[in-house]
């Protein structure tokens, strides 16, 4: 397809596509002559991903470029490639390791991983932003004096494992490795708000079932 058709099918203006090309967010098309290039379905797929990260996720171009660098790095194994692409997305700040609540949260998080049998996740705790996010969140919760039992956290983790299976089952329906990683990144940007909305709708439904509307 030519640039005009790529613009029409993606919903991205030709000027923006040219900007993405200049910034390295989109690979050049196949040059037909000095003024015309041909683009394929891969360009269309990549445009949708870039658009989601910038317009929906609000990510700066430099961050998008870093995410895409990891998406396209076929020298990495699948787990690390998926992780590297997702880890390039904005993350929580590093926790203060001198904070007593942070140290306690590390212990609680490690115990949780042991309880639910996430030995592979435990291998990645030194580099995983998700692990750091868990530690920061648990530390903040405890610092404010809230009691949220460890058993409840374990139950949530087991439910999230089922969600993760659904996520990866869907990722694996895509034929190429790049498409799978792109889909995982797209899921992080677009699906997490959907999951949050579904959780809140489920809470509203369950509340109405238990307590009615009066």
pLDDT at residue number 115 = 94
The domain locations on the chain are 3-82, 100-211
> Which architecture does CATH list for 3-82?
Orthogonal Bundle (1.10)
DSSP characters over the chain = --HHHHHHHHT--HHHHHHHHHTTSS---EESSSS-EE--HHHHHHHHHHHIIIIIS---HHHHHHHHHHHT-TTS-HHHHHHHHHHTS--PPPP-TT-HHHHHHHHHHHHHHHHHT-HHHHHTTTT-HHHHHHHHHHHHHHHTT----HHHHHHHHHHHHHHHHHHHHHHTTSSSHHHHHHHHHHIIIIIHHHHHHHHHHHHHHHHHHHH---
pLDDT, one tens digit for every residue, the chain (214 residues): 888 888 989 888 999 999 999 999 988 888 887 778 888 888 988 888 888 888 877 888 988 888 888 778 778 777 777 777 777 777 777 888 889 999 999 999 999 999 999 998 888 787 888 888 899 999 998 889 887 788 999 999 999 999 989 988 998 898 888 888 888 888 878 888 888 899 999 999 999 999 998 6
pTM as predicted: 0.75
């Amino acid at each position: 397809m030519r640039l005009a058709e790529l613009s029409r099918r993606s919903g991205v203006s030709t000027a923006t596509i040219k900007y993405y090309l200049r910034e390295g967010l989109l690979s050049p098309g196949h040059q037909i002559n000095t003024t015309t290039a041909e683009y394929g379905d891969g360009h269309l797929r990549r445009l949708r991903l870039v658009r989601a990260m910038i317009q929906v996720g609000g990510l700066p171009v430099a961050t998008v470029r870093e995410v895409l660098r990891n998406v396209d790095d076929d020298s990495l194994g699948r787990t690390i490639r998926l992780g590297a692409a997702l880890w390039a997305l904005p993350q929580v700040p590093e926790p203060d390791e001198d904070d007593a609540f942070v140290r306690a949260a590390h212990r609680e998080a490690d115990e949780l991983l042991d309880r639910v049998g996430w030995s592979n996740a435990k291998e990645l705790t030194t580099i995983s932003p998700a692990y750091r996010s868990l530690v920061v969140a648990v530390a903040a919760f405890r610092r404010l004096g809230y009691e949220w039992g460890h058993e409840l956290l374990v139950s949530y983790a087991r439910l999230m494992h089922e969600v993760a299976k659904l996520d990866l089952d869907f990722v694996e329906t895509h034929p190429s490795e790049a498409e799978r990683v792109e889909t995982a990144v797209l899921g992080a940007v677009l699906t997490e708000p959907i999951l949050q909305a579904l959780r809140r709708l489920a809470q509203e439904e369950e509340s109405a079932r238990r307590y009615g509307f009066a």
